[in-house]
Amino acid sequence: QQAYQLFSKRHNFNCQFELNPVSPTVKCSWPLTPHHGHAIIHFELVEQAQEALEAQYEYPFRIQEGRRSNTSIYVRNVPRHFDETNLKAIFIQCTDVMILRARQNTTMSTPIGMENIVRELFNTYSSFQSQSIFIEPNLNDGHVIVYVQFTDDQEMRIAVNDISNKNLSMGSGKLRIKIQQPRQLKFTTKRNEMKEDEFRIKFSKLPAHVDERFLLQELNQHNL
- At position 143, the amino acid (one-letter code) is H
Instruction: Please report, for residues 2, 5, 196, 215, the alpha-carbon distance to residue 224 in angstroms, rounded to integers and kept in the order given.
Output: 8, 12, 20, 11
Task: Based on the fold, state whether residues 112 and 194 are members of the same structural domain.
Answer: yes
Do residues 97 and 91 lie in contact, with contact meaning Cβ atoms separated by under 8 Å? Answer: yes
Task: Based on the fold, state whether residues 28 and 114 are members of the same structural domain.
Answer: yes
Proportion of the chain in helix, strand, coil states, percent, rounded to 5: 30, 25, 45
What average pLDDT does the chain have?
84
Task: Based on the fold, state whether residues 122 and 138 are members of the same structural domain.
Answer: yes
| pTM (predicted TM-score) | 0.64
CATH number for position 161: 3.30.70.330
pLDDT in tens, 179-204: 987 655 554 444 455 554 456 787 88
Task: Based on the fold, state whether residues 86 and 118 are members of the same structural domain.
Answer: no
Q: Which of 99, 121, 139 is the last residue of a domain?
A: 99
pLDDT in tens, 52-104: 999 999 999 999 999 888 999 999 999 988 988 899 999 999 999 988 886 65
Residue 106 is predicted with a pLDDT of: 61
Q: Please indicate, yes or no, if residue 153 is contained in any of the structural domains.
A: yes
Q: Which domain holds residue 86?
A: 39-99
Q: Please indicate, yes or no, if residue 205 is contained in any of the structural domains.
A: no
The number of folded domains in the chain is: 2
As a whole number of Å, the end-to-end CA separation of the chain is: 10
CA distance 109 to 144: 9
Q: Which of 11, 16, 17 is nearest to 199 (CA)?
A: 17
Q: Please indicate, yes or no, if residue 121 is contained in any of the structural domains.
A: yes
pLDDT in tens, 127-176: 998 877 888 878 877 888 999 999 999 999 999 999 988 888 777 788 98
Residue 183 is predicted with a pLDDT of: 53
Say yes or no to pLDDT of 108 above 80. Answer: no
Collapsing DSSP states into helix, strand and coil, what is residue 199?
coil
CA distance 182 to 202: 20
